[in-house]
Amino acid sequence: MSSRRPSHPSHRNPRRFPSACYLLVLTLALLVVSAAAKSSRRPISDNEIRQKKEACYTDVENGLWGWVCRYSPTEKENCVLRCLSPECYDLIYGGDPLEEGELDYVRSQEYKYCMHKLKDHIVVKVVKS
């Protein structure tokens, strides 16, 4: 006598497996979204800003922002700042872009502050001097 089980069709519900898969996929998606939401609360770091700025310099130098952005170092800087964060550029420099030879430490710090706050999705009100 053989101890083999008789081969007969399974009594499992064929729709049960796909439902379990959908539940698993949904759970994993929620975990990923939750993890992303937690990490997005962290303000952007100076290193991340530096990396994004380098990528913007590359784009400007490759002509992706037009010939005006390659006209002078100051125009290049304005384009890079606009590339890095259009919202912060408009808020800080929008009506008064950097001029040739101008070094504006105060607006530079305001821009950096704006980038940190935009990462947190906080509305920034900057008092211009």
The 10s digit of each residue's pLDDT in 81-91 is: 999 999 999 99
Q: What is the pTM of this model?
A: 0.60
Closest CA to 81 of 61, 102, 52, 117: 52
**Rounded to whole angstroms, what are the CA distances from 100 to 18, 38, 41, 83?**
64, 42, 37, 19
Residue pair 87/118 in contact (Cβ under 8 Å)? The answer is yes
Residue pair 84/58 in contact (Cβ under 8 Å)? The answer is no
Where is mean pLDDT largest: 11-20, 37-46, 87-96? 87-96
* Span 32-66, pLDDT tens digits: 555 555 555 677 788 998 999 999 999 999 999 99
d(CA 44, CA 115): 7
